[in-house]
A and B are shown apart, each in its own frame.
Chain A
Amino acid sequence: MSANTPAVDGAKLVRERRLNNAKKNWALFRSDAPALIGAVVLLFFIVIAIAAPLIAPASMLDVTQQLDVPRYAPPSLDHPLGTDDLGREMWVRILWGARVSILVGVAATVMSMLIGTIMGLAAGHFSGLFGGFIMRIVDFFIVLPSLLLAIVLSSVLERGVFTIVVAIGLTSWASTARIVRSQTLSVESRLYIERARILGAGHSHILFRHLLPAVMPLVLANTTLTVGGAIIAESTLSFLGLGDTSKESWGTILKNSMDVSAATSGYWWYVLTPGVAILLVVLAFTMVGRAFEAIINPALRSR
């Protein structure tokens, strides 16, 4: 844009409109009680995850230092969430587990969104052999459940948090790609894409100026929804023994509880607490994500 005064005024107008939009969206979000509660819950878990070392030093997880703590102590004033088979406080484990679970959830989602958006855009925009090839790959990943592929990947790679992220990220992008693809196809059929072609635009102009901005809001809303799925996937992989056993995560806690048959031996707090933590966080992400989705697309408000 040139340095003309009226044009600058225009930029201001744009800024005002964006600000107004943001205000309107915030008002919409605020009026959605579940989403607000979700946001608060998320904030809470993120804060405790970051502050875990301050609240409960890592030594509290060291088994050798818990010799005088009763094992399998049910929740009480002394042990708010009970203790596990090695005398560790459940609340400390949940605290530290939040770090890995949320980190893996977010990191895997970012990876999956990147791949999904690129593949979805490519599948929707390009035609001919290349488009068909991309489409085939997307279809393949849509049909095969990501958990199965993630199991395979994480069992052949070195155990570790990074492996889990890669295993989930590499396998869970198909649903994003599907959404992005159908949105791309629908935008692609709009006249303004045809108009851009008439004006002389090439692939890159259409992809980055029209298609990407059109799918971005959808991708962002989907991101929030996907984090929940990724956290569940992390817990599942850890539960199957594919996680990093040296690091606390909610899935690892559940695996430990399974190893000591906590469910059938009456140590209910051992099973319940990590699950409730997962439920709360996933539900919170889902609520926030649905609110985003509703803001972007009023027609979806019913879903």
Chain B
Amino acid sequence: MSTPTHDPHSGDRPDRGTDTATPGTDPTNPSPASAKGTADTAETNPAAVDMDEPPAGGSFARYFLRKLGGAATSMILVIVLGFFAFRMLPGDPVLKIAKERPMSPAQIAELRSQYGLDKPVIVQFWDYLVGIVTGDLGESYVYRKSVSSLIGEYLGPTLLLTGTAAVIAIALGLWLGQLSAWRRNSLFDKLASSTSLIFWSVPTFWLGLILLMIFGGTLQWLPTGGMITPGLDPWSPAGIIDVITHLILPVVSLVAVVYAQFLMIMRASLLEEMSEDYLTTARAKGLTEDEVRRRHAVPNALLPTVTVVFLHIGGLVAGAVTVEAVFSWPGLGKLTFEAIRGPDLPLLQGTFVVFSAIIIVMNLAADIVYRFLDPRVRRA
């Protein structure tokens, strides 16, 4: 990237928001090239010895508050969307339910008042907001239970499943990705890249079905569904092993699809890093190729990767919906699946809001981690 040596001020033109003009500080824009953009503007800033030093970084509190503000805005949007999508779109949700299961007009009216649909929209919205703040997400039509208690019950297994899958997928993807890039065009690279392309091209749930068929059906090595054999105490040693055997297939299906993406991202960003001048410096200093990779190339390549990886975590969480359905894993995904079948709109709305909240919180965490990883962002 050849940035012309402007006066620093033309790079810092006030008519562009600094937020948008410095993509390197924007975690949603992880291309390494743009990360360098930030460094560039700093570098075309020489002149007399001390005055020219780029200014010191902003405070962590400011950065945190800005990111928190962003997350809060997203959360508000989710909440608003959660309300209006379910009540304002064409088609009265109750009539929709009525269409799919026979109901008398009296039942419909009862349902309407139960959902508060006979009240003015603004009142409904207020009730909904109060409900969210107090943890009341309405009552499930199918389960006849409060949505929040249902979600509380099913949240744990989902976190266990997606958490395990995320850790494995990240570790595997990043590790294979950097090996692949470093041994570019080797047999290993070709194998790793083509396998990931294939995994990338299948629906998660189909992979689950195939695994279920082979290991659960034909070979009968692993259980075909659920989280634990009924009657076992999950905290006993036998119970823990039982949970792990139940966990294997769903985790593998989730990991297979997601690790492939991580691999490709890591590979691409390390490849981009590999032509950088500072690697020549490192080689000239007498480092071995291995040291050059471990100490210099990978830490730099990780930065853009981390942000993209965290963005894909959302996809992994969403993938849990179908995988849990395939393996009857008693988590939020299965709950969502049941809610769709119902259709159980209050439950669906609840799982949507909670899923979104989980993803938003994880992205906030990623932003904070990123600031510690990348010294350049500390200036923002």
Task: State yes or no: do A and B touch (Cβ within 8 Å).
Answer: yes
Residues of A within 8 A of B (CB): 123-124, 127-128, 131-132, 135-136, 138-140, 142-149, 151-153, 155-158, 178, 181-182, 185-186, 189, 191, 228, 232, 235-236, 239-242, 251, 254, 257-258, 263-266, 268, 271-272, 274-275, 278-279, 282-283, 286-287, 299, 302-303
Q: Among the listed B34, B205, B314, B319, which residue makes an inter-chain contact with A144, where contact means beta carbons less than 8 Å apart?
A: B314
Binding stretch for chain A, among B48-56, B138-146, B290-298, B340-348: B340-348
13 A-B contact pairs sorted by A residue (CB < 8 Å): A124-B20, A135-B20, A136-B73, A140-B73, A140-B74, A152-B82, A152-B86, A156-B93, A156-B345, A178-B28, A258-B326, A266-B217, A303-B271
Chain A, Cβ-Cβ closest to B87: A156
| Tally of contact residues, B, Cβ under 8 A | 75
Q: Mark B307-349, 1 if CB is under 8 A from A, else 0.
A: 0000100110111011001100000000011001101010010
- Residues from chain A with Cβ under 8 Å of B74 in the complex: 139-140, 143-144
Interface residues of B in 259-316 (CB under 8 A from A): 264, 267-268, 271-272, 311, 314-315
CA of A135 to CA of B348 in the docked complex: distance in angstroms?
28
Q: Among the listed A145, A158, A268, which residue makes an inter-chain contact with B314, where contact means beta carbons less than 8 Å apart?
A: A145
Indicate if B70 sits at the interface (CB-CB under 8 A). Answer: yes
**Is A275 a contact partner of B91 (Cβ separation < 8 A)?**
no
Closest 6 CB pairs of A and B: A145-B318, A282-B201, A147-B318, A145-B314, A275-B206, A283-B201
Indicate if B23 sits at the interface (CB-CB under 8 A). Answer: yes
Indicate if B158 sits at the interface (CB-CB under 8 A). Answer: no
- Residues from chain A with Cβ under 8 Å of B325 in the complex: 239-240, 258
CA of A302 to CA of B23 in the docked complex: distance in angstroms?
23
**Is A240 a contact partner of B322 (Cβ separation < 8 A)?**
yes
**Is B89 a contact partner of A240 (Cβ separation < 8 A)?**
no
A182 in contact with B202 given A258-B209, A264-B217 (CB within 8 Å): no
Give the interface centre of B74, B209, B271 by most chain A CB atoms within 10 Å: B209
**Is A275 a contact partner of B209 (Cβ separation < 8 A)?**
yes
**Is A302 a contact partner of B271 (Cβ separation < 8 A)?**
yes
**Is A286 a contact partner of B209 (Cβ separation < 8 A)?**
no
**Is B206 a contact partner of A254 (Cβ separation < 8 A)?**
yes
Binding stretch for chain A, among B118-126, B356-364, B368-376: B356-364
Give the shortest distance, in Å, between B365 (CB) and chain A (any CB). Answer: 12
Give the shortest distance, in Å, between B42 (CB) and chain A (any CB). Answer: 15
Secondary structure of the A contact surface, majority rule: helix
Indicate if B29 sits at the interface (CB-CB under 8 A). Answer: yes
**Is A302 a contact partner of B268 (Cβ separation < 8 A)?**
yes
Q: Mark B67-99, 1 if CB is under 8 A from A, else 0.
A: 000100110011001100110011101001000
Indicate if B31 sits at the interface (CB-CB under 8 A). Answer: yes
**Is A147 a contact partner of B20 (Cβ separation < 8 A)?**
no
Q: Among the listed A140, A232, A241, A283, which residue makes an inter-chain contact with B197, where contact means beta carbons less than 8 Å apart?
A: A283
**Is B217 a contact partner of A148 (Cβ separation < 8 A)?**
no
**Is B203 a contact partner of A232 (Cβ separation < 8 A)?**
yes
- Residues from chain A with Cβ under 8 Å of B115 in the complex: none
Q: Mark B18-46, 1 if CB is under 8 A from A, else 0.
A: 01110100001101011001000000000
Give the shortest distance, in Å, between A196 (CB) and chain B (any CB). Answer: 15
CA of A258 to CA of B225 in the docked complex: distance in angstroms?
13
- Residues from chain B with Cβ under 8 Å of A158 in the complex: 90-91
Q: Among the listed B204, B206, B340, which residue makes an inter-chain contact with A242, where contact means beta carbons less than 8 Å apart?
A: B340
Indicate if B4 sits at the interface (CB-CB under 8 A). Answer: yes
CA of A302 to CA of B345 in the docked complex: distance in angstroms?
46
Q: Among the listed A140, A148, A265, which residue makes an inter-chain contact with B352, where contact means beta carbons less than 8 Å apart?
A: A148
